[in-house]
Structure 1
Amino acid sequence: MSQATDPNAAVRTERVLSADPRTVFAAFEQPDKLARWWGPSGFTNTFEHFEFKPGGRWVFVMHGPNSASYPNESVFREIEPHTRIVIEHVVKPWYRLTVTLAERGGETHLAWVQEFESAEMAAKMRRISEPANEQNLDRLQSLLASEGA
């Protein structure tokens, strides 16, 4: 599947985190940390396969607070240490997530762009993705704070 080119096919979230890009990047790179914050509030994760390298697979199950399980499979398409990660979610719903990290005076500006296959799919997913992405970043921010970042 090709990357979406329609700006209406994307869901965007931005956040300034109280940690440097190296520390934020480590929260993606280290599976024990990633499992602690990935997903909306109340979710937990079981990672089955995690290869943090370009072309590497990431297979995991998200466990919702309602006891439902959500299988996920993604491929890391690009990794630029401390600056950029591109993840392709290869099961339905398909999307490409681009995370960019920029240093801002000891903090990190994080941009999170989730591109769906069409504007119609983005519109359908937006009501779920927008609050879920904010909760995801709230959990990342909490992890960073708990580690004294």
Structure 2
Amino acid sequence: MTRIVAVSPALSGRKEQRQAPDSSASLNVETDLVVTRVLPAPPALVWRAWTEPERVTAWWGPEGCSVSDCEIEVRVGGVFRLKLSAPDGTVYPCAGVFREVEAPKRLVLEGTAATTAVGGSACGAGLPPGAVVTVLFQAAGDQTRLTLHTRFPSAAARRAAEASGYKEGWPQSFDRLAGELAT
């Protein structure tokens, strides 16, 4: 089961900061979204599923989507790029830069402005422009607790990404990832 931690400021009626799950950063309910999932594989294998292009293309994106032109340079300053094709044929670019790499425990990526180019989306095909996405890989027995913490540059950017399917897309992607890891 995928868990999403996000409290709408409209529902809470106030700005709120909480401790982000499994992170030393505080959680800002206006700009942050956290998705967690326990996956049926050890952290080293889940890490490979996130860092090897041939594996990423098998699961990235919501159900019915496909990935092409995947390029991943797993190093600080390295690129993460792919093209996500929706079932209707629309192609959405995804582009980012690795800010931190701690194998096999933690990846931090920052979405780049390239994702707002023609055909781009506020959700950045999984890596929103200007957002910092932290991915944590934690052992849970012989499984992995995967935590994806997205910090958007503003509340408006978070709302735009959610309107583009970001909040619904990651649980679907994690379903696909779990399926790939189980094979």
Please tell me the TM-score bracket, short chain as reference: 0.7 to 0.9
Contact conserved, 1:6 with 1:118, CA < 8 A, in 2? no
Q: SS state of the match for residue 101, structure 1? A: strand
Unaligned runs of 5+ in 2: 1-25, 117-121, 123-128
Aligned residue runs from structure 1 range 59-138, under 5 A: 59-91=81-113, 92=116, 93=122, 94=129, 95-127=131-163, 128-138=165-175
Cα RMSD of the aligned pairs, angstroms, is 1.8
What corresponds to 2:62 in structure 1? Answer: 40
> Equivalents in 2 of 1:36, 1:52: separation in Å?
18
1:13 aligns with one of 29, 32, 35: 35
Could you say if the C-alpha distance between residues 11 and 5 of structure 1 is closer, same or farther in structure 2, counting changes exceeding 3 Å? Answer: closer
Higher relative contact order (CA 8 A, sep 6+): 1
What corresponds to 2:23 in structure 1? Answer: none
Count of aligned positions: 143
> Equivalents in 1 of 2:142, 2:44: separation in Å?
10
Identity, in percent, stands at: 29
Of 55-64 and 43-52, more deviation after overlay is shown by 43-52
Give how far 1:123 is off. 2.6
Unaligned runs of 5+ in 1: none
What corresponds to 1:49 in structure 2? Answer: 71
Structure of larger gyration radius:
2
Give how far 1:21 is off. 0.5
Of 59-68 and 120-129, more deviation after overlay is shown by 120-129
Q: Provide TM-score, normalisation by structure 2.
A: 0.72
Q: Provide TM-score, normalisation by structure 1.
A: 0.88
